[in-house]
A and B are shown apart, each in its own frame.
Chain A
């Protein structure tokens, strides 16, 4: 059974929801990413999302753009991130998902990306600029390597597309909370809970929500409507601000605080 599916199943049995933190791999360097990933896994993360640096991250706000740039300045690219996944896999069984734009995968080769990802214990990919209409070649390569392709659904998608996305996605459906790009927000859309209820009714797979979620209070408010919550920019902001053991401790504590409202009663 796939690692992602197993996590959702086990959490469900316990009445828990998944915490899915995101950081950009290589920000500010690969050693820090490795340490952060292991700390997050130890402090309550259920699934890890690692961003693959890209020169033109057009679905991302300033925080993740800057992280991508810092990683690129260190020369980090797709193959490094795949290798990092391999190192992490030797130390943890937490599901690993790579979030990256399509062109680097295309240049590396879709089959080669999928095969190397599988070898290194990567469980899935989220590709923000690859809608289902364009995804067939990658889905074939991913399916062959038993890698999950996780699709995003957006507030603009409408019922018909959400249903299709729910059918095509593997692991879970990633619902984008805001009509917009990534970035921590102090307030989420007032109709978000209602939208999540609608989406929930349209799909059978596990449902996670992300984009803009930055506090334990927001996580607590959303938990009843989903199977998982993704937190990205709020963590990346801490990576930008802090260094060394102080960073590891701060992120670990933050993960614990975010996970608390997801543990159920």
Chain B
């Protein structure tokens, strides 16, 4: 099982960080390898996942959506029903428990949509750790609800003014904080990106999504699905769903954000339209100019608005293990509508990208086939943005 000793997935991954952080990454890897398989840790984590997060989340057969699309049977993995409203809590809980065992007293994180920030702030409150969340001012504007939630949970939201004032810039400042306070602070990285061991740790903590879904579907139908669909920002909800099926004959589709279109300057389709390089500690695909400067990403969904992607996805892409596609802001909005009206579920704008792609995917399958889509989060945080955007895009209908 990858990564290798150097934190590599094929040519991707690694640890491209300042020397100050190298010992912290080595310490984190050592602690993770030592602790995460012990019965005490596993018991503690699964107790919290069950009684606190509310796992297992349902695998819901979406009858109306299935009928509407007229292709495969569509099952929805309901990560939106996890405590705090997204899959992010699976990872923050695992890392929080790990950090406490490592003797760290403070958690920091970057956030785009605010979901990872909320999930980190929640775990900090639960475990009695202090917490600072870095968030771009553009995202603070777009995800006001989550900013309020983080404040109520006792975390400090630190506004980030640099660059595009979104997730990438928040991550720069979170890393700068960690470089400065590394001795007592744990950096709760929010996706399967960044330097080794984060892509591995976050994958492992999110793998519960696919483990549950696989068992739930087998119990119910005795079958494996034909295809899994998930949105990809950094890639954690997708990797969390895919991981348990990696040796099965199951197709993986990761849906990136095409923003205004992958042929414009305004998208976040890193795997679909990017090139390889180093960003935030990992060698992977990214959006960059010919001189190696990182380009600003765009997506209506703040959690996908990031010019990088986790290294294991890069490896999946090159190996052909997963396909990566992209849907536009407008398509995502129609995905948002589709799920809201057919099933009475408001999806997060990020997850709405995965829903939207089902429309393109459905004609490839018949009613005997099964597709599982990951509903990575709930849409409450996005209702203002959706209402605003609808007024603009209504003309387009």
Contacts and interface: CB of A to CB of B under 8 A. Distances in A.
A104 B20 CA distance: 21
Contacts of A180: 20, 179-180
Interface in A100-136: 102-108, 128-131, 133-134
A134 B19 contact: no
Given A103-B292, A179-B183, A156 B23 contact: yes
Contacts of B175: 58
A165 B20 CA distance: 13
Interface residues of A, number: 39
B292 A78 contact: yes
Interface string A189-214: 00000000000000000000000000
A161 B172 contact: no
B176 A58 contact: yes
B291 interface: yes
Contact of B182 (A105, A131, A156): A156
Interface string B4-28: 0010000000111111111110000
A181 B173 CA distance: 11
Interface in B17-65: 17-24
B172 A154 contact: no
Interface string A59-102: 10100010000001000011100000000000000000000001
Nearest to B169: A56
Contact of A102 (B6, B16, B183, B288): B16
A50 interface: no
A224 interface: no
B18 A77 contact: no
Contacts, number: 113
Interface in B370-388: none
A72 B179 contact: no
Size class of the B contact interface (CB-based, 8 Å) = 20 to 34
B16 A130 contact: yes
Given A65-B162, A103-B292, A179-B182, A128 B18 contact: yes
B294 interface: yes
A78 B15 contact: no
Interface in B256-285: 277-281
A56 B297 CA distance: 14
A100 B183 CA distance: 26
B103 interface: no
B180 A181 contact: yes
A106 B280 CA distance: 14
Interface in A20-69: 54-56, 58-59, 61, 65
Contacts of A154: 18-20
B366 to A, nearest CB: 46
Given A59-B179, A155-B20, A176-B19, A54 B162 contact: no
B22 A179 contact: no
A61 B281 CA distance: 18
Contacts of A152: 18-19
Given A107-B277, A156-B23, A129 B18 contact: yes
Contact of B292 (A107, A130, A161, A178): A107
> Which 7 interchain pairs have the tightest Cβ spacing?
A107-B292, A104-B292, A55-B293, A180-B180, A77-B291, A154-B20, A103-B292
